[in-house]
Structure 1
């Protein structure tokens, strides 16, 4: 890994050995390996890079929707950015970094195209891929930008002192950035930081750091019990490998104008020597809008107050002296002082303003070093990129300067070693620094994500990998006609085509049957005379979860089920609740005893100690136990539910008989009378939970990694009573731990936020889609998440498919539209004729239900 040839030694012809020691220059150390060029000493597990007395941390910066904000809000953001600059002591440097990564069409399609599987569904994968291709052409998807902030602490007191100072600096940084993007920053540990450095040095085509060096990672649990990776530094030392070995390219060699990093990878660095007095805040965004690999680093080094006062006074005095000298020269030459060089006059005004800002206003002074490093496959490509970059800079009267003799320093600045040694800088106040504002617009482009529409502002694709997010549970809201079911199908279909996960849909209105027909799914049509039976009393034992209390949860569930039968929001009083709990406890005694025996002694062939639907009690036993309770309340409840247990509406009073497996299962409730919808939804939810428990057991045995995605349409039905809301909330909170992902679908956020459990559910949700909302709903969202008026407008009387997507980090305005000539568009679209047919089916079911009620009376 040679850096450069060592120049042959020259004889000293002028002094020889008699030259005084002070006159002899200390010989320059010649780097012989690429690793020696990389300018840092060490990295800690939590990502602190040490370089002499410099200690730096790198933080991922989530963008803000600055361009969508009104002018007064933008001013607030700039003021908060100024405050960010002023928050830190004088020994803390602040660097703002923008890393451009070029995405060719081949790169994008490799990341987002679905691969053929030979399962009879490849025609739909091809159609999906064609949609992706069209969306690539519509946006600026060839550019992806990653933004970071780096803090560098200068201290001679060692790592422990730096860590103490970082404890305070971390908090300050989080608080300051949250005032701009609402989510703050994410600190990069050693693995993530080295991955960034490796990609800059070797290019985005290199083997990903996490994949190439997995053998040097240690696994452990974080405070929340989630698996986390850290760099195993002892393992590195044992293998004789340094951290620089992990990121270094094959060579770092000087050419005439560039630094060579590989056969087809070169780097050339520039700096901004001067900036105009006035610079638009769009500068950084626009000059980095090039589809090439670039790294822009702006390092702000605070100047201590005393030194700042001296500097501005000296500068002011020096410029004034130049003006006086020019005036005297004009007088001697016989021309008016009004003809003095305008640049000199402007320099005097600038120096005077700078002195006023620092001396009178107390503003902080910085030395700003602004470096851009351009990467290309050869000198010619870099020359071409530089020409485009220079042209963009020229629009702002800025000229980038080639770093003569400082290309190595420029490279080390680009790879974020924490201590830029580029010696070109410019004095700025914190107010001036606002012009170098890094925030612009939020994007969402997960590399393994699926399509969630286009960013309504940038037109780039919104690609999100929901399954691998920290909080995968989701809520989808949209008034009638806003495209709620269309966008939900748009999430379900790629998940069916990509991976082995199962999809389960609770479908009160038969919205999703077409998806089942095309993708080999199974639709379970539930009706009063249904061939399918689901027993709401099925109970999984959940032996693997020591915190599980299946009997207590089933008792609460049965209370909610009774309340659904009672209807009209009627809740059981404490006496009725106690009667239900007693009945449940008795009817499960034999079942629990048998399952416990199996768990203790082992199961016979074909048996399970987790769930046995053949011996579970049913609503018939529930009714009998209520009648046998011997209390007025027990009898009252039994008579209220009698028709659903042993009467004409006993569709759910039988043992479960749904056998077999399908990757897509739809519970269709359209054929049930409307008055049974809420009850049926709860029955189906109980059945879904048993599938989730079973899937968890199989995952632990066979390590399938399979998730079950559960979609609950008309979700508001679960919040009509306190007990029902508590039951669904309990499922919702636990489902992720069991390998499930649950999504509630309803019309208005106000439906959920009107209940205590619904409000709590928002706090346990990491994925939201908001389509058109009522005025009350829009106001509630603004109160919850501080959404700007400009963004909230995307859910106010907009066309179908227009809305907002929020993943607890970014809020993206989306436009979810598919080409009308695509097959998937026709599958996902709702046929207007279907609405009339569904209305007729529901009316018939209601009439049959009401007719049987009259016959009973």
Structure 2
């Protein structure tokens, strides 16, 4: 068939063109490619991704996300194992499932281009250059060069393509639900993605240049992936793919106690290897019959051996060790299938190494053999069967004949495909450190999460503010459509914002600065439930001002009435003057004065200090502009009595900024340092809770930062917010805090160790459902390190050295 196609294609070449040297070279290339195509074991791969394999066989490949199995608590590991067994047991009769783990090199050039940027001309190039160098340093020295992708391929036998598509769709729907139960996700590869995967397995550095829409007449999908040359005769133990060498090995000797660490061990090998584990379920009934037949044969062999032993005067109970072991294994297998409701699978495990030269091939083979011997397994080479092995490794669902072994569901599940989560996103990612489990960079964009609000938790001196400043800096450099606002109670961010690297705005808030904020301002016309929001806010700040944890029902009603009347008057004034100023805290106090009620009088008197007294900074119209991409509200000099109130009023005034940014397609990151200071009572806690929830609707991304973890976790609503958060950075924790966090977040002992007595910049990163141990060692000989560092001992040492150098 391929030859007929080749002939047709060659006929299309004109006689004059054929005679040219270029035409002769093209003709030779066509011939070579058509020959190599015949070695790739499928007939067609459709645009949908379904492969037609011949003999009424059809297959489909799905990519699935990894989950953190290796560092999960033992109870969670057992749950994952049980659910994966359920997935395998759900396979129908005559379905061949192939697990593929593809270790392939990271494209450092593509990775680098997705992170670092140069000479943008936005005023942050100096800052960006230093951060770029830090990230590039980690890529060059501390990063693994390999990443593992994982796939499942299902093969069915049907009379036609339509029936095959229906069967494969049913399998996918079942698998999709099973993966969700496992905490993972899977998706079907379309035709182009499946071709790209096979191209990568054949040439890890090759690029797929193919589109179904631009597919030339008379060509096939194999044209896009076939190398110029396969040479399966070069050597009986390996073969050649263009200028690369490849070798297929099979699992020859299985351990009596297979470890769930097999795939994890192989995934850590920094070579281009592809593992394929084929599993085909036996139909119910046939599995038991087959095992009983095997047992019967062995019993006959045992009886025959005993007779011979008696004839020769030996002990009839003595028998060869391998026969004794095989009989014991077969009876145990029968027990598993009959009594424990396990399925029986015909399986085979293959590994293909793809190397640039013979030395690399031998080095990779040695690494594979060492890894498998450590698991008490032995690999063998497919002598003179490399071509069949090659096709069995490709994610097509075609096992090689004659290298199978029967295993139960439990044993198949022990070859656990889940190891460790990688976070290497490409869409405006932020660098968070190096994954301590895999050695790869942690790159992600939390603004893409369903709930991007975050928490940064650490003991004093663990590097909390350093990590926050690092994230802020990268947002400014790599996310141009985002602004950053910081509420700074200790004056830790002002120097950074004022630096020429940042050219940010610092707003000093105290009773001497002449800076005013009006918390009653806002987008009155376009904010849903505007008056109710202001009522709730006023009740929150009056709780603070009154010095109580709870307002009385009368006080709450009076506040509701006065705020509503205040905005009603404002609306009436707007008919006469559209430029009328919005109400202020002074207007609210005047409204209370009109109420003939002792509770109103008490609240009105309590407000004097904040409207006419020394703390009137929140009683007048706002007189500051906050349109800089980086704005720091420095409340370090506001005084302890006003600090909590200052937090709330600043957050309330930020609503307008967040809303306006949303209208023009910008995100707003809001960092609330030492957030525990604002969570003093139920009203304050509810205010923060509502602010987090409201921000999410308008692309506001709040981040709570604190060293007082235990105090936060004592408040139930805050505890729920942290427990439901999809982004948490946990640096070093105290023992008591760590125990509570472990209970709340389900941390394993190994994960807890990442936050116990850990160096600065080491900890855990929760992103979505994944929890990853990370480390980050930022270069100290940089200007940004000096700006971000708040370690007093280190700062003193540096100043002393500077003085000594000057002298």
> When the two structures are superposed, what TM-score results if normalisation uses the length of structure 1?
0.76
Asked whether the equivalents of residues 264 and 376 of structure 1 are also in contact (C-alpha less than 8 Å), the reply is: no
Which piece of structure 1 moves more, 581-590 or 531-540?
Answer: 581-590
CA distance 1:73–1:637, change in 2 (3 Å): closer
Q: Residues 57-68 of structure 1: matches in 2 within 5 Å?
A: 58-66=62-70
Matches of 2:254 and 2:576 in 1, distance apart?
80
CA distance in 1, matches of 2:116, 2:214: 41
The residue aligned with 2:702 is 742
Partners of 2:216 and 2:594 lie apart in 1 by: 76
SS at match of 2:285: helix
Q: Which residue of 199, 207, 228 corresponds with 1:201? A: 199
Contact 1:48 1:56 in 2 (8 A): yes
Alignment of 1:550-561 (within 5 A): 550-561=530-541
| CA deviations over 1:420-456 (Å, ceiling 9, x no partner) | 5666321112233244223333443334533223334
Gaps of 5+ in 2: 8-33, 797-807
CA contact (8 A) 1:472 1:767 kept: yes
For 1:129-171, what per-residue CA distance to the aligned partner results, in whole angstroms no more than 9, with x for missing partners?
3433443466452121123455666677665566456545543
Aligned to 2:489: 508
Is 1:657 matched up with 2:663? no
Q: CA deviation at 1:356?
A: 4.6
The residue that corresponds to 1:316 in the other structure is 295
Equivalent residue in structure 2 for 1:445, among 403, 416, 424: 424
**Distance in 1 between the 2:217 and 2:712 partners?**
55
Matching residue within 382, 390, 411 for 1:432: 411
Structure 1 range deviating more: 628-637 or 255-264: 255-264
Q: Which residue of 1 aligns with 2:225?
A: 249
Give 2:128's match in structure 1, choosing from 113, 125, 128: 125
Corresponding residue of 1:708: 668
1:562 counterpart residue number: 542
Indicate the larger mover: 652-661 or 113-122: 113-122
SS of 1:782's equivalent in the other structure is helix
What corresponds to 1:401 in structure 2? 381
Are residues 333 and 298 of structure 1, via their aligned partners in 2, closer, same or farther at CA, if it must alter by over 3 Å?
Answer: same
Q: Aligned pair 1:298/2:277, yes or no? A: yes
The answer to whether the aligner puts 1:826 opposite 2:767 as a matched pair is no
Secondary structure, aligned partner of 2:628: coil
CA contact (8 A) 1:486 1:829 kept: yes
**Residue by residue, what CA displacement relative to the aligned partner does 1:72-98 show, whole Å, maximum 9, x if unpaired?**
876676566545534555455544332
CA distance in 2, matches of 1:48, 1:435: 29
**What is residue 812 of structure 1 aligned with on the other side?**
772
* Residue in structure 2 matched with residue 579 of structure 1 by the alignment: 558
**1:778 alignment partner in structure 2:** 738
Q: CA deviation at 1:551?
A: 2.0
Distance in 2 separating the partners of 1:208 and 1:479 = 49
2:635 to 646, 651, 669: 669
Q: Residues 268-667 of structure 1 correspond to what in structure 2 (within 5 A)?
A: 269-321=248-300, 343-344=322-323, 346-359=325-338, 363-376=342-355, 385-386=364-365, 388-390=367-369, 392-395=371-374, 396-402=376-382, 404=384, 407=387, 410-411=390-391, 414=394, 416-417=395-396, 420=399, 424-447=403-426, 449-500=429-480, 501-518=482-499, 519-541=502-524, 543=526, 548-567=528-547, 569-589=548-568, 591-592=570-571, 615-659=581-625, 661-667=627-633
C-alpha separation in 2, matches of 1:409 and 1:4: 27
Alpha-carbon distance in structure 2 between the residues aligned to 1:775 and 1:319: 59
The 2-side partners of 1:575 and 1:54 are apart by 73
CA distance in 1, matches of 2:45, 2:793: 70
The DSSP-based 3-state class of the residue aligned with 1:399 is strand
Q: How far, CA to CA, are the matches of 1:510 and 1:747 in structure 2?
A: 16
CA drift of 1:777 comes to: 3.9
Which whole-Å CA distance do the structure 1 matches of 2:619 and 2:3 have between them? 80
In structure 2, C-alpha distance between the alignment counterparts of 1:772 and 1:84, rounded to whole Å: 38
2:646 match: 680
Is this contact kept in 2: 1:253–1:260, CA < 8 A? no
Q: Give 1:11's aligned residue.
A: none
C-alpha distance in 2 between matches for 1:673 and 1:553: 27
- Give the match's secondary structure for 2:653: helix
* Number of equivalenced pairs: 755
Instruction: Give me the whole-angstrom Cα distance separating, in 1, the residues matched to 2:453 and 2:219.
Output: 38
Larger displacement relative to structure 2 (255-264 or 443-452): 255-264
CA RMSD in angstroms comes to: 4.4
Contact 2:673 2:705 (8 Å CA) reproduced: yes
Deviation larger for 714-723 or 667-676: 714-723
Q: Is the 8 A contact 1:58 1:188 kept in 2?
A: yes
Distance 1:238 1:484, change over 3 A: closer
Q: TM-score, with normalisation over the residues of structure 2?
A: 0.81
Q: Say if 1:270 and 1:403, in contact at 8 Å, map to a contact too.
A: no
Partner SS state of residue 279, structure 2: strand
**Structure 1 49/119 Cα, relative in aligned 2: closer, same or farther at 3 Å?**
same
Which deviations, in whole Å up to 9, do the C-alpha atoms of 1:445-492 show, x marking residues without a partner? 334533223334454433322233332211112233332212111211
Q: CA deviation at 1:693?
A: 0.9
Instruction: Tell me how far apart the structure 2 counterparts of residues 167 and 80 of structure 1 sit (CA, whole Å).
Output: 16
For 1:739 and 1:816, locate their aligned partners in 2 and report how far apart those are by CA, in whole Å: 28
Indicate if the aligned counterparts of 1:54 and 1:419 stay in contact, CA closer than 8 A: no
Per the alignment, residue 841 of structure 1 pairs with none
**For the residues of structure 2 that align with 1:597 and 1:807, how far apart are their CA atoms?**
53
Distance across 2 between alignment mates of 1:296 and 1:748: 47
How many angstroms apart in 1 are the aligned matches of 2:277 and 2:647? 56
Whether the 8 Å CA contact 1:453–1:461 is kept in 2: the answer is yes
**Contact conserved, 1:4 with 1:253, CA < 8 A, in 2?**
no
State the alpha-carbon separation in 2 of the partners of residues 443 and 149 from structure 1. 18
Mind listing any 5+ residue stretches in structure 1 that lack a counterpart? 8-29, 178-183, 214-235, 599-608, 700-705, 837-857
Kindly indicate whether residue 177 of structure 2 is the aligned counterpart of residue 171 of structure 1: yes
In 1, the alpha carbon distance for the partners of 2:727 and 2:575 equals 39
Residues 318 and 462 (structure 1), Cα distance of their counterparts in 2 relative to 1, 3 Å cut: same
Name the CA distance, whole Å, in 2 between partners of 1:260 and 1:714. 62
